[in-house]
Amino acid sequence: MQTKVSSDPSRYDQKLELILRASARIFAEKSYHSTSMRDISRATGVSLAGLYHYCKSKEELLFLIQDHCFGRVLQRLEERLQSESDPIARLRIFIDNHLSFFAANMAEMKVLSHEANSLTGERQRKVNAIKRRYVDLLEGLLKEAAPEEPAVERSAASYMLFGMMNWIYNWYDPAGAIDPDRLAELIARTFIGGFAEARSTVHGG
Amino acid sequence: MQTKVSSDPSRYDQKLELILRASARIFAEKSYHSTSMRDISRATGVSLAGLYHYCKSKEELLFLIQDHCFGRVLQRLEERLQSESDPIARLRIFIDNHLSFFAANMAEMKVLSHEANSLTGERQRKVNAIKRRYVDLLEGLLKEAAPEEPAVERSAASYMLFGMMNWIYNWYDPAGAIDPDRLAELIARTFIGGFAEARSTVHGG
Which are the contacts of B139, defined by CB distance < 8 A and separation ≥ 6?
Answer: B154, B155, B158
Task: Say if CB A128 and CB A134 are below 8 A apart.
Answer: no
Phi first, then psi: give them for residue A83, nearest 5 degrees. Answer: -95, 10
Q: What is the mean pLDDT of residues B53-78?
A: 94
Instruction: Find which of A160, A165, A182, A200 to mutate to test the B interface (most B CBs within 10 Å of its CB).
Output: A160
| pLDDT above 90: residue A3 | no
Mean model confidence pLDDT for chain A? 90
Chain A residues with at least one Cβ partner in B under 8 Å: 31, 33-34, 113-114, 116, 152-153, 155-157, 159-168, 170-172, 177-178, 183, 186-187, 189-195, 197-198, 201-202
Q: How far is B168 from chain A (nearest CA, A)?
A: 8
Over residues A41-90, the pLDDT tens digits come to: 999 999 999 999 999 999 999 999 999 999 999 999 999 999 999 999 99
Per-residue pLDDT at B205 exceeds 50: no
List pLDDT tens digits, range B28-60.
Answer: 998 898 899 999 999 999 999 999 999 999 999
Q: pLDDT tens digits, residue range A16-43?
A: 999 999 999 999 998 898 899 999 999 9
CB–CB contact B167 A159 (8 Å) = yes
Nearest CB partner across the interface for A186, out of B114, B157, B178: B157
Give the chain B residue whose CA is nearest to the CA of A201. Answer: B202
Nearest CA to CA, how far is B13 from chain A (Å)? 32
Q: Which of A163, A178, A191 sits opposite B166 (nearest CB)?
A: A163
Phi, psi values for residue A117, rounded to 5°: -105, 15
Query: B1-21 pLDDT, tens per residue?
Result: 444 555 677 888 889 999 999
- Model pLDDT for residues B166-191, shown as the tens digit of each residue: 999 999 999 999 999 999 999 999 99
CA A126 to chain centre: 15
Whether pLDDT at A154 is above 50: yes
pTM: 0.89
The answer, yes or no, to whether residue A204 has pLDDT greater than 90, is no
pLDDT tens, position by position, B120-168: 999 999 999 999 999 999 999 999 999 999 999 999 999 999 999 999 9
Please tell me the total number of residues recorded for chain B in this structure.
205
